Amino acid sequence: MPPVTVAFFIPLLWWRRRIRLLSIGLLCVLLTVGAGMLLGCGGGYYSKPPAQTYTVTVTGTSGSTQHSATVTLTVQ
């Protein structure tokens, strides 16, 4: 909330008691709404990282016999 907006409501605090209570309540509401608008904007954007590709070689051995297989793994 711009400081100009807050400064607009400050003179209301010096008027009569009834108006003072109303202006304090209005100021609290405006500050709460302003803070909510600022904090609410932070969680709305999420960029997904690019997918990455890995090559994995799996090797099985039994005695003198050996077999290998290559697998491509894509992580999104």
Measured from the Cβ of residue 30, the count of other Cβ atoms closer than 10 Å reads 15
CA separation for the pair 69, 26 (Å, rounded): 70
> Does residue 74 lie within any of the structural domains?
no
> Does residue 55 lie within any of the structural domains?
no
> Does residue 51 lie within any of the structural domains?
no
Helix or strand or coil: residue 34?
helix
> Does residue 58 lie within any of the structural domains?
no
Q: Which two tokens stand for residue 63?
A: 């005695």
CA separation for the pair 8, 13 (Å, rounded): 10
Residue predicted with more confidence, 15 or 11:
11
> Does residue 13 lie within any of the structural domains?
yes
Per the structure, how many domains does the chain have? 1
Q: Which two tokens stand for residue 64?
A: 């003198």
> Does residue 30 lie within any of the structural domains?
yes
> Does residue 59 lie within any of the structural domains?
no
Q: What is the pTM of this model?
A: 0.34
Residues 6+ apart with CB under 8 A from 15: 23
**What range does the domain containing 23 cover?**
3-40
pLDDT at 65 over 80: yes
> Does residue 11 lie within any of the structural domains?
yes
Across the range 5-15, mean pLDDT stands at 66
